[in-house]
Amino acid sequence: MKIWIKALIGLGIIVLGVLLVGLMKNSNQETVDEVKKEQQMVSTQLVVPTSHPFVIEATGSLTAKKRIELYSEVQGILVATQTDFKEGNRFYKNQTLLQINSSEYQAQLLSTRSAFLNRITSMLPDMEVDFPEASVKWQSYLEDFKVNRALQTLPEPTSEAERLFLTGKGIYENFYTVKNQEERLSKYTLKAPFGGVVTESLVTTGTLVRNGQKLGEFIDPSLFEIKLEVPSRYTNYIALGKEVLLESLDTQQKFQGKISRINAKISSNTQTITVVVEIAGTDLKEGQFLQGTIFGKMLENVVKIDNNLLIENNQVYVVKDGVLQLQEVEPMNYVGDSVLIGGLKANTILVDEVLANVYPGMNVLF
C-alpha cells in the first residue's frame, strides 16, 4: 500500500513539473511576442540638407504684349484692301489694315495746296524788292512745289524782318493749314504698326464708318504677358528676371518665361501683388490659361518631404537610438503635396512614412 502511495506521489510530482515547464514556455513566448509587437518596423531616410529655390504657384490668362484697339478718327465708306480685315488674317508691318474712302477729302486738300501755291506766287514780287536774296530760295521752293505731293519744309528766314514779312503775307498760316489737312488725310488709311493678326473685326467692306467708331483689335501673336497674383508675404523671394515655368492646363505643353514687372501695390481685397511674366511662343493664344511656377530665391539647408509627414504643422518623427522622437521643424515653402522644411541636421534619421498607433519613446526597427 505504501508503495502505491509513493508511486502516486511521484507521478503527481512529475505531472506538476511538466505543467510548470509548459507554463514557463508560454510566458516566455508571450513576452517575446509583446517585445516584437512593441518594436514596429518603420521606413526612414537619412537627412541630407540641400538648397532649393522658393517655389510659388499661380494661374493666369495670356494677353498679347503688343495689342491695339483700332478706332476711326474720320468718317467715310470702308473700301476693299489687298487682305480683308477679318479675324485670323495676318498682316506684315506697314501693310494697310483698313482703308476709308478719302476722295472727297483729297479734293479739299488739293484745293488748299493750290491756294497756298497762289499765296507764294503773289508774295514773290514784293519779296524780290524787300528781300532780294531771300527771294532766290523761295523761287526755288516754288519751282519744286507739286500740288499732289506733301508740302516740303519751308525755307528758313535769315532775319527777324524776313520772318515778320512772311507772317504778314499769311505764308505760315496757310502752310500749317495744309499740313493739318495732310495729317488728317493719313487717318483714312490704317496701317499695321507691327506684324500681327486680327483678333476682332467689327466692320465690313462697303459700310459707313463714323468718327470714333471701334473697328477691331490687332495683336502680335508671338509675344505675350501673363499676370500672376502672388501672396504679398512672398515678395522677398521674387525678383525681376527670375525664371517662370508655365504649363498649359489643357495640353500640358510647357513654356519658359521671365518676370518682367512686379506691381508695387498690394491688393487690399486679396493681399496679393501682381507679377507680370513675359513669354514668347508660336503655340500660345491670347486668353489661354496657364499654370505658372515661379522659381524664386534659394533656400539653404532645407529638406523636401511630403505634407502628410508633418505633425501639427511643425513637427516630424525621427529615430534616435532606436526610439521614436518628435523633432520641431520650420515649414518654409509648400509646393503641391510637398513642403520644404528647415531645422533638421545632417544625418538625422527621418521617418518618411505616415505612422498609426505610435508615440514618442516607442522602440522601432528601421
Of 352, 244, 346, nearest to 290 by C-alpha is 244
* Conformational region of residue 105, where left means phi above 0, alpha means psi within -120 to 50, and beta covers everything else: alpha
Task: Give the per-residue pLDDT at 29.
Answer: 45
Q: Do 76 and 214 share a domain, yes or no?
A: yes
Q: Do 88 and 205 share a domain, yes or no?
A: yes
294-315 b/e (C-beta count within 10 Å ≥ 16 → b): bbbeebeebbebeeebbbeeeb
Q: For residues 147, 148, 151 and 152, what is the CA-based torsion angle, rounded to 10 degrees?
A: -100
- In a domain, residue 33? The reply is no
Task: Give the per-residue pLDDT at 4.
Answer: 57
Q: Do 291 and 304 share a domain, yes or no?
A: no
Entry pTM: 0.69
239-248 pLDDT per residue, tens: 898 889 999 8
- In a domain, residue 277? The reply is yes
- In a domain, residue 8? The reply is no
Q: Do 293 and 316 share a domain, yes or no?
A: no
Res. 35: pLDDT tops 80 = no
- In a domain, residue 133? The reply is yes
Res. 184: pLDDT tops 90 = yes
Q: Which of 86-100, 192-206, 319-333 is predicted least confidently?
A: 319-333
Q: Do 212 and 72 share a domain, yes or no?
A: yes
Task: Give the per-residue pLDDT at 314.
Answer: 87
pLDDT band at 235 (very low <50, low <70, confident <90, very high): confident
Residues counted in the chain: 366
Contacts of 25 (CB under 8 A, 6+ apart): none
Task: Give the per-residue pLDDT at 23.
Answer: 52
Task: Give the per-residue pLDDT at 20.
Answer: 55
* DSSP letters for 110-168: HHHHHHHHHHHHHHHHHHHHH-HHHHHHHHHHHHT--TTSPPPPPPPPSSHHHHHHHHH
Task: Give the per-residue pLDDT at 177.
Answer: 95
Q: Do 72 and 215 share a domain, yes or no?
A: yes
- In a domain, residue 335? The reply is yes
Domain that holds residue 342: 40-52+299-365
Question: Domain holding 261: CATH number?
Answer: 2.40.30.170
Q: Do 73 and 215 share a domain, yes or no?
A: yes
Res. 1: pLDDT tops 60 = no
6, containing H or E segment:
helix 2-38
- In a domain, residue 22? The reply is no
**Block residue for cell numbers 509627414:** 309
**Block residue for cell numbers 500672376:** 228
* Burial status of residue 157 (CB atoms within 10 A of its CB: 0-12, 13-18, 19 or more): middle
- In a domain, residue 77? The reply is yes
Q: Do 206 and 226 share a domain, yes or no?
A: no
Domain boundary among 186, 201, 229: 186
Instruction: Quickly count: other Cβ atoms within 10 Å of residue 291's Cβ.
Output: 16
Q: Do 128 and 240 share a domain, yes or no?
A: no
Q: Do 75 and 214 share a domain, yes or no?
A: yes
Q: How many domains does the chain have?
A: 4
Question: Domain holding 323: CATH number?
Answer: 2.40.420.20
- Between residues 347 and 2, which one has the greater pLDDT? 347
128-167 pLDDT per residue, tens: 988 988 889 999 999 999 999 999 999 999 899 999 999 9
Domain boundary among 298, 323, 344: 298
The proportion of the chain whose per-residue pLDDT surpasses 70, expressed as a percent, equals 89
Per the structure block, which three cell numbers stand in for 328?
520641431
The helix-helix angle for 160-168 and 103-130 (nearest 10°) equals 130
Task: Give the per-residue pLDDT at 9.
Answer: 61
Q: Do 94 and 201 share a domain, yes or no?
A: yes
Q: Do 78 and 205 share a domain, yes or no?
A: yes
Domain boundary among 197, 219, 241: 219
246-274 pLDDT per residue, tens: 998 888 889 999 999 999 999 889 899 99
- In a domain, residue 154? The reply is yes
Per the structure block, which three cell numbers stand in for 360?
514618442
